[in-house]
Amino acid sequence: MLYFDNAATTPVRPEVLDAMMPYLTRWFGNASSHHTVGEAAAEALADARRRVAKVLGLRAGDIVFTSGGTEADNLAVKGIAIAAQQHRDAGHFVTTPIEHEAILESGDYLHRVHGFDVTQVPVDGTGRVSPDAVADALRDDTALVSVGYANNEVGTVQDVAAIAAVTRSRGIPLHVDAVQAAGWLPLSAEELGFDAISIAGHKLGAPKGTGALGVRGRIPLEPLLHGGGQERGRRSGTEDVAGAVALATALDLAEAERAESAARVSAIRDAFVGRVLSTVPSARLTGDPVHRLPGTASFTFTGTSGEAVLLELERRGVVSSSGSACAAGSDEPSHVLVAMGIPPEVAQTAVRFTFPHELSAPLDAVADAVAASVAAVRSGG
């Protein structure tokens, strides 16, 4: 079976499993405990925090370990916006309509429970948002702007640095959801200019349930979880030391390999896209053809059902997806594709292929399987 749903999750890397194992066995202690076993855990946690901070270009104290990308996004959006409302009477949140549900539903929560106005800045037909449009959406009471670095369905990459320049000029924090970008794109705060960033370990070869929010120390952050005051009071709960070690290890490995793997996979992706477009009638590439993740190729196949194509592909030994795993099973068309101007009936024909970092061979056979699957669905069998 060939697995091309790496945007949904990745297998745990052997190096990551080896790194975390001691903190599941011998050094299993609670990092808050003041004895040998607890202090060993605390040292490992502090080291993991420093390593994650280094990749993100932040200070160790800026890192909050979370249970994954969804929690990191919720903590960023709700925590920064509510703190801004308390400190300076802010009541406006800006995002885009193609964000992950963790961002969009957090914005809806801010509106319903805390009275925020929410502005979704439109994107163009490739999924890109204009920095000028973001600038036009800002108000004196804007608490936060949140933009996905790379879209989880179509792979479109935003010009984060240009957007950050706009928000910085107005003194408004920028949160970047980098869950899909990590391992493929630069993550340095110095280069990108963000104030907060979310990442998730299971997109990088760490276990599910691991993640982090990086947030500059000058940004007030209201916690969502209250209790023992861990993570400097920003995220209470006994820390997952093994998970933090796993995340740091996976992030280090991905960063060391990033430039080489991105160039290699981009070339294979481009050849795959070209073959699919040339062999599948009415196939359409979605997302930006240039500003896209190296490992993402997403298509619509007019006249089919995306779910039916996926079933045919799996019969041929290829596992893929119709979009975000978080929306799997929904009968609704992709909100990302609809926001990009794709008709709902066409959006429901979407199929997404997301590749692993170690991909090294041409995908001609996979492209041929796509053509055969689409033809089978169109012929009714």
pLDDT one-digit tens code per residue, 72-81: 999 999 999 9
Mean pLDDT of 205-229: 97
Element containing residue 129 per DSSP (H, E): none
Confidence of residue 261 (pLDDT cuts 50, 70, 90): very high
pLDDT at 380: 83
pLDDT of residue 337: 98
Mean pLDDT of the region 235-255: 98
- Sorting pLDDT into bands at 50, 70 and 90, what band is 103? very high
Average pLDDT over residues 319-346: 83
Phi, psi of 380 (to 5 degrees): 85, 15
Q: Which of 37, 267, 311, 326 is catalytic?
A: 326
Task: Clarify whether 201 is annotated catalytic.
Answer: no
Q: State yes or no: pLDDT of 164 exceeds 90.
A: yes
| Higher-confidence position of 328 and 233 | 233
Alpha-carbon distance 372 to 279, whole Å? 10
Whole-structure pTM value: 0.96
Tokens of 55: 């990749």
What's the pLDDT score for residue 79? 98
Predicted local confidence at residue 326, as pLDDT: 54
Q: What mean pLDDT do residues 1-9 have?
A: 97
User: What does each C-alpha distance from 335 to 138, 232, 274, 319, 377 come to in angstroms?
Assistant: 23, 36, 26, 23, 24
**In the predicted structure, residue 360 carries a pLDDT above the cut 70:** yes
Which residue, among 283, 204, 279, 216, has the nearest Cα to 247 in the 3D structure?
A: 204
* Total number of residues shown for the chain: 381
Q: Is pLDDT at 57 greater than 80 in this prediction?
A: yes
Mean per-residue pLDDT of the chain: 96
The average pLDDT across 291-311 equals 97
Tell me: pLDDT of 327 over 60. Answer: no
Indicate the pairing of strand 174-177 with strand 142-148: parallel
- Residues 298-306: what's their mean pLDDT? 96
Residue 269 burial (CB count, 10 A): 22
**Cα dihedral: 54, 102, 118, 196 (round 10):** -10
pLDDT > 90? residue 83: yes
Work out the pLDDT band at 330, boundaries 50, 70, 90: low
pLDDT at 332: 83
- Which residues make Cβ contacts (< 8 Å) with residue 188, sequence separation at least 6? 55, 56, 57
3-state secondary structure of 321: strand
Q: Name the residue among 16, 76, 14, 8 with its Cα closest to residue 248.
A: 16
Who contacts 194 (Cβ-Cβ below 8 Å, separation ≥6)?
Answer: 160, 164, 174, 175, 176
Task: Answer whether 286's CB lies under 8 Å from 339's CB.
Answer: no
Q: Which helix (H) or strand (E) holds 145?
A: strand 142-148
The residue among 24, 46, 360 whose CA lies nearest residue 207 is: 24
| 324 has pLDDT over 80 | no
Confidence of residue 291 (pLDDT cuts 50, 70, 90): very high
